[in-house]
Amino acid sequence: MNSALLIITAFMALSIYLALRARKGKEMTLEQWSVGNRGLGSMLVFLLMAGEAFTTFTFLGASGFTYAAGAPAFYIFNAAYFVLSYWLLPPIWKYAKEKNLLSQSDFFASKYNSTALGVLVAVVGVISMIPYLVLQLKGLGIIVSEASYGTISPSAAIWIGVLTVTVYVMLSGIHGAAWTAVLKDFLILGVVIFMGFYLPLHYHGGFVEMFKSIDQANPGFLVLPESGLSTYWFVSTLILWSLGSYMWPHTFSAAYAAKSGRALRRNAILMPMYQIVLVFVIFIGFAAIFQVPGLKGSDTDLAMFKLSKATFDPWFVGVIGAAGILAALVPSSMMLNVAATILSKNVYKIWKPETTDASLARLTRYLVPVVAIAALYFTFNGGNTIVTLLIMGYSLVTQLFPALFFSLWKKNPVTVQGAFCGIIAGLAAVLYTTLSNASMADLFPAIPQAFKDFDIGIIAFTINVIVTLTVSAFTRKAVKSDAEPTHSVA
């Protein structure tokens, strides 16, 4: 075992120790296990949410995307997320607390007074999480196998990663995730800031020098292109992603874990500043361009690691690897935890309502490895880059936004039928455009270039909103005429 692997193993062991410690002295009810009894203050909620924001995607995907595409990668800075979270999360938290809700699916079921809609939302949530989970596992595999300098194959590395995550989640639930998030954040901050400064200075003698030589070798790489990943693409993607970012079942329920709405609002002030760390990840991606040239397709995800191995001693590669592993561990444990909770509480319990809480809690824990194995299957059967997987998950989960948004209105204009049809139509559109690999230009060859560059997700989203509102308009009338006689009686 080399020193890189030794350090990575030590950090994995430490995170499991933290998970065990976090659990100690607390009886694990389902509520305790999944939303930490709604007792997490601003600081822990902040760290949990930051844990969402800084995942393997940030670490490997963002640097790889910068390496491959240049300026379009700047879309990872998105201020709109946090502004949205300030207004969106506190009312969600408040309603969830009043009604004692545990999951995202509960929220929809309660707002629309329909268990069937709850089941649909549960299924959409779990399906959307799979590509996101696959992405984290892929990242884990890359890190462990690269850090082993070839002694562990990527597939063996993925198995090791999955085992660690599964054991970790089964032991601890959300408390463990919050404490590992603390450890992870310190490590990532240190590693990323150091590398972001060191690499450009070491290889180019300065930041401006680095950017100037990139600009010379590849003119136009540092700005958004005229067409394709253009300004129009950029803006439409930012908007879509902010809508999707809090629709994930795990970001949704991270909001439940807050102690107060105020904790969530304070979080919205802190989070944008925290994103600044991402600029260092971008520096690393740019620094890799001349040092590890020629990576193509899904190999671009390796850019950061290849560069680290070319630059640093194995022990430091181990520290970088440990940071990367924790970056995968926190979000994937959150996701596994939430997916298992949803499947047991919002699907199984609906099917078998007589299940007791104790056996439900047990079932939830046993579902963790089941979900992990499903994700494992897709990890081994798909050759996509981290960015592609993330985009797919986002497009799917964004389809829940319209139904949620309207349900927060004082007078919800959307009926349960409308919500149902809208979500299904949106999903169908996402699946069609993803599977056929269509772009706006393929679907609408005659529209102006600006529209052709729009994120393809806009189509599914627009279809969703139109169907939601149209079906609601029709069904509302039907409901009204049904309801009127009862009203006059009352």
Partner 1 sequence: MKKWLYLLSIIPVFFSLLVFNKVEPYVLGMPFILFWMVLWLVLTSVFMWIVYKLDPANQGGDDE
Number of H helices, E strands in the chain: 25, 0
Q: What sign results for the dihedral spanned by CA atoms 319, 324, 329, 331?
A: positive
Select from 30-38, 69-77, 406-414, 444-452 the region that touches partner 1 (CB under 8 A).
69-77
| Stretch 165-204: interaction string toward partner 1, x if CB under 8 A | ----------------------------------------
Residue 217 lies near partner 1 (rule: CB under 8 A): no
Q: Is 99 in the site for partner 1 (CB under 8 A)?
A: no
Residues 339 and 359: their CA atoms lie apart, in Å, by: 17
Helix or strand run (H / E) with residue 233: helix 231-245
Pair 372, 336: CB distance under 8 Å: yes
Shortest distance in whole angstroms from residue 273 CB to partner 1:
5
Angle, helices 416-435/457-489, rounded to nearest 10 degrees: 170
| Identified binder of partner 1 from the candidate list 99, 202, 262, 480, rule CB under 8 A | 262
Candidate segments 79-87, 100-108, 313-321, 455-463, binder of partner 1 by CB under 8 A: 79-87
Q: Closer CB to partner 1, residue 86 or residue 474?
A: 86
Q: Yes or no: say if 142 and 134 are a contact pair by the CB < 8 Å rule.
A: no
| 281 near partner 1 (CB under 8 A) | no
Minimum CB separation of residue 378 from partner 1 in Å reads 33
In angstroms, rounded to a whole number, what is the distance separating the alpha carbons of residues 456 and 425?
15
Measured CA to CA, the distance from residue 374 to residue 380 in angstroms comes to 10
The pair of structure tokens assigned to 254 is 């991270």
d(CA 170, CA 20): 10
Regarding 234 and contact with partner 1 (CB under 8 A), the answer is yes
Report the residue number, 171 or 222, with the smaller CB distance to partner 1. Answer: 222
Nearer to partner 1, 83 or 373 (CB): 83
- Identified binder of partner 1 from the candidate list 57, 65, 67, 74, rule CB under 8 A: 74
Establish if 222 lies at the interface with partner 1 (CB under 8 A): yes
311 contact partners, CB below 8 Å, separation of at least 6: 199, 202, 291
Binding of residue 290 to partner 1 (CB under 8 A) = no
Please state the φ and ψ torsions of residue 11, each to the nearest 5 degrees. -70, -35
* Interacting residue with partner 1 among 10, 13, 83, 373 (CB under 8 A): 83
Sole window of 168-176, 233-241, 351-359, 467-475 interacting with partner 1 (rule: CB under 8 A): 233-241
Nearest to partner 1 of 150, 219 (CB atom):
219
Closest CA to 199 of 64, 289, 275: 289
- Which chain residues interact with partner 1 by CB under 8 A? 71, 74, 77-80, 82-83, 86-87, 90, 94, 206-208, 211, 215, 222-224, 231, 234-235, 238-239, 259-262, 265-266, 268-270, 272-273, 275-276, 279, 282
